[in-house]
Amino acid sequence: MGERALRGTRLGATSYENDRNTDLAPRQEVPYTCPKGHRFDVPLAAEAEIPATWECRSCGATALRVDAEQPQTKKAKPPRTHWDMLLERRTIEDLEEVLNERLAILRAQRRKSA
């Protein structure tokens, strides 16, 4: 294409290729149903691994494939909190000792300023 043909167009906005003489990959339509009753089909490649769940196009809920069973939820371990990580490094007795030292320092600073 000449330089004049591209002038005035947005880059990436339109494709100047056509679909003639192009073979598309074989596809299959996979039906899904969401808990709210919405039913829709998703076109997937024939050799693709078909997921058991898909996000509903209407409401955003998790839709289940029509011929599939509900997937098992994985057991997730609870997130570690700051307190859990602190207890991995120190015992309660150590923490009480550090607390008492810090309180003594703060009380001494208050006496000096008063």
Q: What residue numbers does the annotated binding site cover?
A: 34, 38, 56, 59
Whether 63 contacts 55, CB under 8 Å:
yes
Are 46 and 68 in contact by the 8 Å Cβ rule? The answer is no
The binding site for Zn(2+) consists of 34, 38, 56, 59
Contact yes or no for 64/36 (Cβ under 8 A): no
Q: How far apart are CA 25 and CA 42, in angstroms?
A: 15
Beta strands in the chain (DSSP E): 27-33, 39-45, 53-55, 62-65
Q: What distance in Å separates the CA atoms of residue 28 and residue 41, rounded to the nearest whole number? A: 9
